[in-house]
Structure 1
């Protein structure tokens, strides 16, 4: 005689510790999740740092041009964002914090030059791009004349912020 449904299965015997719960680590605690893969991509970190440096230099220059003053917190922000982008995208490569610090110095410098160009273009009958590309040496001389110890302190703080930002982002 044929049956229209399979015969009932006997329940399997379970051990005293096997009650359908997730696997346990030591002392009854759940097992640790698997470790996340380590990111270590120098090329992507470099690209992210360069993009962040270009964008933040432009923003920093616009802030200086609008306020006609160097703002220390903005320089710190430039450094931190450049370093953070390098560390977040590139991972724990030991060269990325140093690279982020160097690129933040470049970004702060060009941001200050852009700010000087914006300020000068308001007073002179030339455009910002003309000052920046055609009269760069004059712009650089003007920056040197305006530079004071506080300017270089902003550079140092930006580099430190970039280094620590890259380290924190990669952790």
Structure 2
């Protein structure tokens, strides 16, 4: 029996093209030149749908907007409709953006907007009363709060309650749209 021996191969120069035996095997479904790669998967948004943080954000926004709304009323001596819309919008925006899609946030935002507009109107009444009497705002608002509420009741008209409805609607709408 004879054995066949393969002759030793000669070393090839480094810049020589690979032969068919040495060529790498291509993947059967390799991307063609000029092909568009598939899109990368989109990760979910972090931190959404946290109802507790959304409620805290809405509460903080309600306090801040009540003070700002009260300052607007106190300085202008008028209730302004767009300011009530702004109160509701800011509260709903804070709740929806931070809290996510939970439907409770829209309802709570509307309730907080009602309270914020009411508190803002009381702050405005206290500012106006403090200027008329010549005492500090703190004294009127904190020491004579009952008088401030009576003044609010005397000044309340149907338009006052329209502002409540506008603010609640704006808060509910903004919470829903901000979460989307």
TM-score by length of structure 2 reads 0.81
In structure 1, the residue matched to 2:54 is 45
Is 1:157 aligned to 2:161, yes or no? no
The answer to whether the aligner puts 1:18 opposite 2:31 as a matched pair is yes
Q: Secondary structure at the match of 1:114?
A: helix
Report how far residue 45 of structure 1 moved. Answer: 0.5
Partner of 2:5: none
SS across alignment from 1:33: coil
Structure 1 residue 40: deviation in Å? 1.2
Q: What RMSD in Å do the two structures reach over aligned CA positions?
A: 2.3
- How far residue 15 of structure 1 moved from its aligned partner, in angstroms, is 3.2
Whose Rg is larger? 2
1:33-84 Cα offsets, whole Å, 9 max, x none, are 3554582111101110011001111111111111110001000100111011
1:88 paired residue number = 97
Q: Kindly tell me: are residues 145 and 15 of structure 1, through their superposed partners in 2, closer, same or farther at Cα, counting changes over 3 Å?
A: same
CA 1:15/1:21 → structure 2, altered by over 3 Å: closer, same or farther? farther
What TM-score comes out, normalization by structure 1 length?
Answer: 0.85
In structure 1, how many angstroms separate the alpha carbons of the residues matched to 2:146 and 2:155? Answer: 14
SS for the counterpart of 1:47 is: helix
Structure 1 residue ranges without an equivalent (≥5): 24-29
Deviations 1:138-165 (A, max 9, x none): 1000000000000000000100000000
Query: Gaps (5+ residues) in structure 2?
Result: 1-13
Deviation at 1:130, TM superposition (A): 1.3
User: How many pairs does the alignment contain?
Assistant: 160
1:98-124 Cα shifts (integer Å, max 9, x gaps): 000000000000001101111111111
* d(CA) in 2 for partners of 1:156, 1:59: 19
